[in-house]
Amino acid sequence: MTAFVAACVQLRSGLDRRKNVAAATALIEEAAAQGACFVSTPEMTNVLDKSAERLFSHLDGEETAFEIGTFADLARRLNIFLHIGSMAMRTGERRAANRAFLFKPDGTLAARYDKIHRFDVDLPNGESWRESNVYDAGADALIVRTPLAAFGFTICYDLRFPNLYRTLARAGADVLCVPAAFTKQTGEAHWRTLLTARAIENGAFVIAAAQGGVHEDGRATFGHSLIIGPWGEIVAEADGAEPGVIFGEIDPARSAEARARIPNLALENAIRVRTVS
């Protein structure tokens, strides 16, 4: 494996799936034109809508969703690995999956990943989110081994569950992907800190494409897409919440080097808890 250029596409997805896909396509094309061979988009690339009624009035399942063919054709045309950070996909009358897709340069689908941890929280500013009301939880962690690197896939709220990333790193992931639609409030507080921690503690690159700005459904997301190196250094960061593209060089050898310098993955011991009162 040799070094390659990766890109994060930052979006501000709205209610219209076709408009969202068109906006993502333009930025993916820009990324490929500037040399990226792995391009990642944010969580909910195809639609961001907190109204379940409105969402299910037009949402399709994977077998009929136009997005699948569009992004497959795009990956083939641009000859890139295209990671669609996630899309809403109908799985039942009132149920959906928050699902990531990785398309290979020949346009075939390499893998899909369903978000494991759902964002069910009440925030201090009065925001309340219940993703479990709409989205089913995934069950399996995912690594995809490619000629570029071994990629571990996660989505947004997964970031707050470090054991998932530990599991991926110990299974051989060189690069951890964290597409997200972090709220502005939680992003300002924790986004960079959590991503940097996941990179350092696992000796892995982190690629985190984000949604940013005020969306049509009224939510505000943080933006600041990031690419972080395995020593915790910021390789690239989006300047704010505007849509755009950032680029970074990914060298899997640097992940191996970081893990050799600090061999915590190899030296981790099983822990038994004793409670004394």
Q: Which residues are catalytic?
A: 43, 115, 156
Residue 236 burial (CB count, 10 A): 18
Residue 54 burial (CB count, 10 A): 13
Smallest CA-to-CA distance from 224 within 197, 186, 173 is with: 186
Q: Which two tokens stand for residue 61?
A: 């399942």
Judging by DSSP bridges, how do beta strands 109-114 and 38-40 pair with one another? unpaired
Cα separation, 114 vs 240, whole angstroms? 28
Q: Where are the alpha helices (DSSP H) in the chain?
A: 17-33, 52-56, 66-78, 162-170, 184-186, 192-202, 252-261, 264-267
